[in-house]
């Protein structure tokens, strides 16, 4: 159960009873073992997003990674690299079932520390953007043009749950497990250096965020996957 607001709690599938799942911290070049237990009634996969690891443990069905059988377990053993902010998530195909795969709460941060991690900051936060309660929307959402100030598609009064929509829409949005106004604010003191790891964990949406009143410096981009600098 995920309490997005005091008045809105949803039921989903997550890791270790939470969504996002637990933060996993690993050290670049140091072998690790992760045992995954599948408590669901369907086969599952855990994909280690952005790592250079063999296909048999990458967690991708197309690359012939073994599935985790229902009520079974599998052991992933690999050497994590490159360093940086990565994430782990389910890689099962949802198809037309909006209660499976990337539409569930099966995701979490995976941080690969460089061999010599400087840690020259005062506080560190991991923030994942996520949508919830998906539905098939017959109108295409245009989220590419951030300057579009005209009328935007609205959620229909009666949700069309048939698999005939052109796009997937959502009823709720959160940062980590809380919607706007429901979570604790990030508390910092003037002059502190804060490292924020930002993840768009959406199944289908691009997102923009604003942090007014502060000056930010991007120290790394997740697309620069060969960098040993921790991602912003």
Number of domains in the chain: 1
Please report whether residue 110 resides in a domain.
yes
Please report whether residue 114 resides in a domain.
yes
What is the residue range of 20's domain? 2-200
Q: Average pLDDT for residues 118-146, to the nearest whole number?
A: 79
Between strands 167-175 and 2-5, the pairing is unpaired
Higher pLDDT, residue 196 or 211: 196
Distance from C-alpha of 191 to C-alpha of 121, rounded to nearest angstrom: 11
* pLDDT tens digit sequence for 68-100: 999 999 999 999 999 999 999 999 988 888 889
Query: How confident is the prediction for the chain on average, in pLDDT?
Result: 85
Please report whether residue 99 resides in a domain.
yes
Of 141-150, 155-164, 169-178, the least confident: 141-150
Higher pLDDT, residue 148 or 32: 32
Per-residue pLDDT at 25 exceeds 50:
yes
CB 130 within 8 A of CB 44: no
Please report whether residue 87 resides in a domain.
yes
Distance from C-alpha of 23 to C-alpha of 126, rounded to nearest angstrom: 9
Q: Average pLDDT for residues 45-58, to the nearest whole number?
A: 95
Please report whether residue 214 resides in a domain.
no
* CATH number, domain with residue 88: 2.60.40.420
When pLDDT is cut at 50, 70 and 90, the band that residue 220 belongs to is confident
What's the CA angle centered on 74, arms 69 and 78, to 5 degrees?
140
When pLDDT is cut at 50, 70 and 90, the band that residue 224 belongs to is very low
Please report whether residue 222 resides in a domain.
no
Please report whether residue 217 resides in a domain.
no
């Amino acid at each position: 159960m995920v309490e997005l607001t005091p008045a809105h709690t949803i039921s989903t599938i997550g890791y270790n009873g939470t969504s996002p799942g637990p933060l996993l911290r690993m050290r670049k070049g140091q072998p690790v073992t992760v045992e995954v237990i599948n408590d669901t009634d369907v086969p599952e996969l855990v994909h280690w997003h952005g790592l250079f690891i063999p296909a048999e443990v990458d967690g991708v069905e197309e690359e012939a990674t073994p599935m985790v059988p229902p009520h079974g377990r599998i052991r992933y053993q690999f050497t994590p690299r490159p360093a940086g902010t990565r994430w782990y998530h389910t890689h099962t195909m949802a198809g037309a079932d909006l209660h499976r795969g990337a539409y569930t709460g099966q995701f979490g941060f995976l941080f690969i520390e460089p061999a010599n991690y400087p840690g020259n900051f005062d506080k560190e936060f991991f923030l994942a953007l996520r949508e919830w309660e998906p539905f098939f929307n017959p109108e295409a959402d245009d989220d590419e043009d951030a300057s579009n100030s005209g009328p935007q598609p609205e959620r229909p009064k009666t949700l069309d749950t048939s698999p005939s929509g052109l796009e997937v829409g959502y009823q709720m949005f959160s940062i980590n497990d809380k919607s706007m106004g429901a979570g604790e604010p990030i508390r910092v003191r003037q002059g502190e250096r804060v490292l924020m790891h930002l993840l768009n964990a959406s199944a289908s949406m691009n997102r923009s965020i604003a942090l007014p009143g502060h000056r930010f410096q991007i120290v790394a981009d997740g697309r620069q996957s060969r960098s040993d600098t921790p991602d912003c």
